[in-house]
Structure 1
């Protein structure tokens, strides 16, 4: 955690829209696959919703599926898109371009531990993406809202990093659907709370007897 002053920052972690390889269940990794027509429509719909959160900064992976998703929000809000190479998807090594069935059949041992030959480990991705998220947050004012357009594995693992989850429980956090997002709210101590996960609608206030944190 940086030495920034705690505030009421929010971070919206937004997965890119659908691609042809998503439909075919192919491991994309760092391969630069574009959005398909459905993915473009998803991005436009999501952008209209996310604009209501009044984002103040927009950062994206430079891979075209994430960059095009971010551009849909830029078109609605007028925000410039900043690209960060550290937000790209997990390097899938030998798995890139293969279907899930092909991976299971050709690499059973590696599939069992979900470690692509020649690719990145989960810990490497978590640190890379988490550090990029922290860097972007540090540039936000105390009430800023950051939207990050990136990729499924990258965002899930980066989120685990900044939430401070130990690696042994990372798999308990489910993934993000195409063009869905998660929302993190800053807490009083400068840490983060998961407010919404894998959402496709705007977050609603939580009214309950649970521990209240007005800054979240």
Structure 2
């Protein structure tokens, strides 16, 4: 039986609503985000996960902990699952970023921030590392962030970098499902768990358009 990984994005925060770049800033879930995490936990617990690993940032860890309580599992923390660092853009709105850094905004490369290839490498490496601890047929839930998950999945699947924007963003407390196949990892579901809705994330504008 194949091992599977569910990549769960954290619930909503105030900065999501305000369209502020969060990056490594440790912003908590808002009231809606707490409710989203509880709903996701009730659904994902039915899959009987064997392991839960979370980013160390509060919004992801609290989302993972909601699932852990329902599933009866402890949550392991891995800093490598953090969101893409936003450098000088953290805390700023998209409007402020596009006005202050028009060239960098177009490329979605924050001054002092992380490059997409670095994020893709650290997140995919983390997923591989934890998935390797699963028994055959096991299920791992990774609680992380929008850009981190999308980039990690793209690297894990071996997509060339020019095709990474083909993967869309994830809504708050939506998830993607990966399965280990004979020739590598494949994507079974993407941005599942809710009806289509606008995605507010630290990801690039192209990845978060409706």
TM-score (norm 2): 0.91
The 3-state SS of whatever aligns with 1:164 is: coil
Does residue 146 in structure 1 map to residue 146 in structure 2?
no
* Rg larger for: 1
> What whole-Å deviation, never above 9, does each CA across 1:157-197 have from its counterpart, x for those lacking one?
000011101100101100100000000112133x1111000
Partner of 1:30, secondary structure, is coil
TM-score, structure 1 length as denominator? 0.88
> Structure 1 CA distance, aligned partners of 2:141 and 2:70?
13
CA RMSD in angstroms comes to 0.8
Partner Cα separation in structure 1 for residue 70 and residue 60 of structure 2 = 16
Alignment coverage as a number of residue pairs: 194
Report the 3-state secondary structure (helix = DSSP H, G, I; strand = E; otherwise coil) of the residue aligned with 2:165: helix
Which 5+ residue runs of structure 1 have no aligned equivalent?
1-6, 202-216
Aligned equivalents of 2:171, 2:6: Cα separation in 1: 14
Q: CA deviation at 1:120?
A: 0.4
Structure 2's unaligned 5+ residue stretches are 195-210
Within 5 A, what are the aligned runs for 1:165-204?
165-189=159-183, 191-200=184-193
2:88 to 77, 88, 94: 94
Alignment match of 1:164 (pick from 158, 169, 181):
158
Distance in 2 (CA, whole Å) between partners of 1:162 and 1:193 is 9
1:86-142 Cα shifts (integer Å, max 9, x gaps)? 000001000000000000000011111110000000001000111111111111111
